[in-house]
């Protein structure tokens, strides 16, 4: 019986260790992409004075520089928005998980059951 409890405790420790590693890596990734997106967005916006934002030349041809410039702004802004949404998603997930764990602990304490 003791060997089984030790094995369960070892597996819980492993799960906790790898969960912490995964959450740390996810945090670093989200922060990296948000920082990169904000940096690119700031850089692209600082270049707006160097470009004439006209989609068509007088001859009727499409100005690809303006199109790519606005597309870069759109992509950088989209990256920042999704980064912020992922942060809010993680925070709500952590709150939900904390609530579930505290509810389970309260139930087990009230009913005198072992883990």
Model confidence over 34-62: pLDDT tens digits? 888 888 888 878 877 776 666 666 677 87
Q: What is the mean pLDDT of residues 16-23?
A: 80
Whole-angstrom distance between the N-terminal and C-terminal Cα of the chain? Answer: 14
Task: Give this prediction's pTM.
Answer: 0.61
Instruction: Find, among 83, 77, 65, the residue nearest to 40 by Cα.
Output: 77
Furthest-apart CA atoms within the chain: distance in Å: 85
Contact status, residue 63 vs residue 55, Cβ threshold 8 Å: yes
Instruction: Find, among 8, 73, 1, the residue nearest to 41 by Cα.
Output: 73
For the chain, count helices (H), then strands (E).
2, 0
Strands (E), 11-58: none
């Amino acid at each position: 019986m003791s060997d089984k409890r030790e094995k369960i405790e070892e597996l819980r420790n492993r799960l906790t260790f790898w969960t912490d590693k995964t959450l740390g890596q996810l945090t670093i990734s989200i922060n990296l992409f948000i920082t990169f997106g904000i940096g690119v967005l700031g850089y692209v916006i600082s270049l707006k004075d160097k470009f004439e934002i006209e989609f068509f030349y007088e001859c009727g041809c499409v100005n690809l520089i303006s199109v790519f410039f606005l597309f870069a702004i759109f992509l950088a802004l989209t990256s920042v928005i999704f980064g912020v949404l992922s942060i809010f998603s993680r925070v709500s997930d952590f709150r939900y998980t904390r609530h579930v764990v505290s509810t389970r602990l309260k139930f087990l304490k009230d009913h005198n059951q072992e883990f």
